[in-house]
Amino acid sequence: MNCAIILAGGRGTRFWPLSRQLEPKQFLNIYSKRTMLEETINRLGSLVKRQNIYIATNKLQIKKITKCLKKLDISGRNLLLEPEVKNTFAPIAVLSWKISNEYPDAVIAVLPSDNFVKDKKKFRALLSRAIKIAGQGYLVTLGIPPDKPETGYGYIKRGKKYKDFYLAQKFIEKPGLSRARKFIKEKSYYWNNGIFIFRPAVILREIKRLLPRAYSVITRMQNKKDIERLWFKLPSVSFDYAIMERAKKRAVLPADYGWSDLGSWHALGSVMKKDRNGNIFRGNCVDLGSKNSFVWSDKRVVATLGLDNLVVVDTKDALLVCPKDRAQDVKKLVEILKRRNFKKQL
């Protein structure tokens, strides 16, 4: 029996001004007619039943997530409303504990709620294989073959080949550029895309071994009230750092299904269809001679002229203009907006 834990608590500040505190990326229909969270769930197909899908998000998102659960026919019982934002370890651990009580023999797939997958069939085939491997007691990850020395992702070094997968030899946090370049050259490294597949017993054993205090907190949680009461005792740390870097019996499956974390407007541009000048125009756009640009209009007329490699995102109350190669710094802009007290726009 397969279960899924969907992590939908992200802030998505990198898609500002479209994404906001109350409307983060996973709740937007950025590249399709469905929200990214819906896409993530639909993508599972028949691999995981709706009643076995668990979603973690934070309290700020209650309205959005309620609407979403209804649409997706997922029970409110399967929702973890994090009382406080705490990185990925806490929600994965708490929901794994919950699942272990309900379905001790399940295999759990942990999935981010805001990634792009090009080849859904391939994705399901891989996930299905990963579930089988996890059933044998492995902590399985899907390793994305890197195509550039990205410094924004963690890496997984593969070890010995074992049947149809590799043992994962090492988990590396976001490296510097020269180290990332070395990884690319060596060809035995993958990007860590934040998908983990495991049996609840396996993960709880590792939590007990690696974070015994967190384990004792988690195993005292019997209901929503307990979670509310004890949540603040859990560490705010990533699942990668807390568990994957030090766990035993880790596996990595090379995963070439066309993945993107859609981490910036630039990344979004790379998965959308371009015109013959390399532009993407969405909405009420009028252009004269631009190239390789990304122009997003909510409602108003956006007129562009001779742009090159630029991102323009126009929403009701805020506008963003920046070169594509600076799109990842939108986070910094949002910080400035915060400091300057632009509440409405955050």
What size, in residues, is the chain? 346
Residues whose CB falls within 8 Å of the CB of residue 195, separated by 6 or more in sequence, listed in order = 109, 110, 111, 112, 127, 141, 142
3-state secondary structure of 75: coil
Quick check: 239 and 89 in contact, CB under 8 A? yes
Residue 122 or 326 having the CB closest to a second copy: 326
The contact set with a second copy (CB under 8 A) reads 16-17, 286, 288, 297, 300-308, 310, 312, 314, 316-323, 326, 329-330, 332-333, 336-337, 340, 342, 345
Shortest distance, position 141 Cβ to a second copy, whole Å: 34
Shortest distance, position 99 Cβ to a second copy, whole Å: 42
Residue 118 or 332 having the CB closest to a second copy: 332
Distances (CA, A) of 264 to 182, 280, 316: 25, 15, 20
Q: How many other CB atoms sit within 10 Å of the CB of residue 230?
A: 16
CA 291 to chain centre: 30
Residue 218 or 322 having the CB closest to a second copy: 322
Residue 271 or 318 having the CB closest to a second copy: 318
CA-CA-CA-CA torsion for 121, 123, 124, 126, nearest 10 degrees?
A: 120
Distances (CA, A) of 101 to 77, 88, 215, 225: 14, 20, 14, 17
Q: Which amino acid is at 303?
A: A
Shortest distance, position 326 Cβ to a second copy, whole Å: 4
Cα separation, 20 vs 18, whole angstroms: 6
CA 344 to chain centre: 26
CA-CA-CA-CA torsion for 21, 24, 27, 32, nearest 10 degrees?
A: 140
Residue 97 or 296 having the CB closest to a second copy: 296
Shortest distance, position 302 Cβ to a second copy, whole Å: 5
Cα separation, 214 vs 268, whole angstroms: 37
Residue 240 or 314 having the CB closest to a second copy: 314
Q: Which two tokens stand for residue 199?
A: 């049996």
Residue 181 or 282 having the CB closest to a second copy: 282
Shortest distance, position 65 Cβ to a second copy, whole Å: 27
Q: Burial, 213: exposed, middle or buried (Cβ in 10 Å; 0-12, 13-18, 19+)?
A: exposed
Q: Which two tokens stand for residue 255?
A: 């995963």
Shortest distance, position 262 Cβ to a second copy, whole Å: 18
Residue 16 or 27 having the CB closest to a second copy: 16
Q: Which two tokens stand for residue 9?
A: 């608590």
Shortest distance, position 314 Cβ to a second copy, whole Å: 6
In the block, residue with structure tokens 């409405």:
344
Residue 98 or 266 having the CB closest to a second copy: 266
Shortest distance, position 334 Cβ to a second copy, whole Å: 8
Residue 195 or 311 having the CB closest to a second copy: 311
Q: Which amino acid is at 86?
A: K
Distances (CA, A) of 127 to 109, 165, 194, 253: 8, 12, 13, 9
Shortest distance, position 252 Cβ to a second copy, whole Å: 36
